[in-house]
Structure 1
Amino acid sequence: MGKRILITGAAGFLGSHLCDKFVSEGYRVIGMDNLITGDMKNIDHLLKEESFEFFHYDVTRFVHVAGELDYILHFASPASPIDYLKIPIQTLKVGSLGIWHLLGLAKEKNARILIASTSEVYGDPLVHPQSEDYYGNVNTIGPRGVYDEAKRFQESMTMAYHRFHGLETRIARIFNTYGPRMRLNDGRVIPAFIGQALRGEDLTVFGDGSQTRSFCYVDDQIEGIYRLLLSNYSDPVNIGNPEEITIRDFAEEIIKLTNTSQKIIYKPLPADDPLQRQPDITRARNILGWEPKVSREEGMRITYDYFKGLTEEELFKSEHKDFAKHIKR
């Protein structure tokens, strides 16, 4: 029998791709998700697999898994601005209570745990590119602070368990990632631009468009996470694509890719929106032997083809998911 792994946030964008990866590598995978932002259609194809089982569960409550457990991947968190600005308390809870419960489970099972951190721990950075030894520039009380600080606390708690209990821990600082299974209107740059282009709308750029992002295709991201989990390195590692582009130039690329005639319109920049985002992946190259392989041109073509396959209802519906039924207190 293969090794057994728990993946939280299993029905989300990255979580579902991780489930695919570990099933394909011969692991017995337990997926867990409260479906507050995840979608069962992302893992429907796995439900017939004997090596995959799914639990609809909220990890901010006590987490128990029967039997042996070798690894835990904690990917249960809202990750897009439209989500964490609508459900700020739940975002903070999954980064505090959620990680506490999962670290406790890892300690009980003597399992190695990898947590999904984020480039947002760097905030609006004062150094460029961002390396793992940069401590960040984060507004703790701003609207984005609920996500940024949840992830920063999650890192602190993880390292405390590593140092105090000797727990095997890994920290992946994930930069902008894209690919199939992203939600079309979740507030992130790529699905927002592609959705607007497919609907014949002008592309919305916030600020003057000079702010930068670095986009990593999902297959590269999953491979980096996989290698980090199996490595012997416990400090944070940036996993992202260092190829930087301005948002304005990226919008022009989308217009060219989609062969549309939309204009670019400009709106005020949201509070604390980072002006630069580019990972220094020296550590990932040296320790994991990893770097991105999929070009933005190739990755965007695959992603665009995925979004083109959506139904008209999916294309035109607004992203106004009813979060109320998930909110306990």
Structure 2
Amino acid sequence: MEKKNVLITGAAGFLGSHLCDKFISEGFRVIGMDNFITGDKKNIDHLFDNPHFHFIEHDVTEFIKIEENLDFILHFASPASPIDYLKIPIQTLKVGSLGTHNLLGLAKAKKARILIASTSEVYGDPLVHPQSEDYYGNVNTIGPRGVYDEAKRFQESITMAYHRFHGLETRIVRIFNTYGPRMRLNDGRVIPAFMGQALRGEDLTIFGDGLQTRSFCYVSDQIDGIYKLLFSNYSYPVNIGNPHEITIKDFAEEIINLTGTDQKITYKELPKDDPLQRQPDISLAKSLLGWEPKIEREVGMRKTFNYFKNLTEEELYKSEHKDFTKHIKK
């Protein structure tokens, strides 16, 4: 039987690279696309000799030309950490708008089903807890985080417009905090930030009083949920995340215990519009997909720590501010 083709944008990113592995293991031919603005080639180095993987270096905000037939498209190209999208705000907005428009047009032309990666950030600093898919959010459109939040909200809107107007087969996943191997150390997100500080012997930095909450989902669970959603018959947004909530302060103490270090916790001012609570209501994913996370945080964190522990000295100490300039078209 001829293999089905799937295009995965953001293929060199954290989730994108794991999705490439998943679809190849499930018997698909994967076309990976990335411009390396935040992705890392080392995440997909192991795939370049695989006959079922083809890579295209390309910016999805530019016209996309694919000669092959496409059965599925997964759009995961986007900066996803505060350090990234605050440093490249225009590119973040463009990939959520122009990039999504290009890929929806490609899906229409190829008669392909498309899954769009949205985010729990569409809920903003939520006034409803936990957050379910019918909550419209509490988002500051003109705040510094708005470049990411609104890019994703627009992404959902244009995707549903293509679904309603053109009859396009669409899927939307709202991704909550996810962690695991291949995260970029010091990218501004909680887990790599804490682990980087612990491994360097630095005190762990908490922004705010540490009583804000997050819910962390291990990457294999997240990928499984995304895969099941793609092959469902549901076109509206679905939360995929782990509902087990923890305060940032308690989590920092978990990291110190995990790494066996004796760092202290220091406190800094909470950034503007940083959400105080984040917990997914996954009732829909349970009933629709038969999905819920399986990996306990203790197990997932140990796997993630072992990954970071094996980084080189250069990777451990390099600046958190990646140089984006060579990848950006002004």
* Distance in 2, Cα, partners of 1:137 & 1:62: 33
Residue 247 of structure 2 aligns with which residue?
246
Deviations 1:31-64 (A, max 9, x none): 0000000011000101111110001100000111
Residue 208 of structure 2 aligns with which residue?
207
Residue 15 of structure 2 aligns with which residue?
14
Q: 5+ unaligned residues in a row in structure 1: which ranges? A: none
Matched position secondary structure for 1:96: helix
Matched position secondary structure for 1:172: strand
Superposed displacement of residue 325, structure 1: 2.0
Residue 40 of structure 2 aligns with which residue?
39
Residue 71 of structure 2 aligns with which residue?
70
* Distance in 2, Cα, partners of 1:325 & 1:46: 24
* Distance in 1, Cα, partners of 2:322 & 2:207: 23
Residue 119 of structure 1 aligns with which residue?
120
Opposite residue 176 of structure 2, the aligned amino acid is F
Report how many aligned residue pairs link the two structures.
329
Deviations 1:170-210 (A, max 9, x none): 00000000000000110000000000000000000000000
Superposed displacement of residue 327, structure 1: 2.4
Q: TM-score, structure 1 length as denominator?
A: 0.99
Residue 148 of structure 2 aligns with which residue?
147
For residues 92-241 of structure 1, the aligned pairs below 5 Å read 92-241=93-242
* Distance in 2, Cα, partners of 1:158 & 1:13: 23
Seq. identity, %: 81
Matched position secondary structure for 2:64: coil
* Distance in 2, Cα, partners of 1:322 & 1:264: 29
* Distance in 2, Cα, partners of 1:116 & 1:235: 12
Matched position secondary structure for 1:64: coil
* Distance in 2, Cα, partners of 1:74 & 1:166: 18
* Distance in 1, Cα, partners of 2:320 & 2:51: 34
Matched position secondary structure for 2:93: helix
Matched position secondary structure for 2:205: strand
Deviations 1:79-98 (A, max 9, x none): 00000000000000000000
Matched position secondary structure for 1:273: coil
Deviates more, 1:309-318 or 1:148-157: 309-318
* Distance in 2, Cα, partners of 1:165 & 1:228: 21
Matched position secondary structure for 2:32: strand
Residue 90 of structure 1 aligns with which residue?
91
* 8 Å contact kept, 2:37–2:328: no
Q: 5+ unaligned residues in a row in structure 2: which ranges? A: none
Opposite residue 45 of structure 2, the aligned amino acid is D
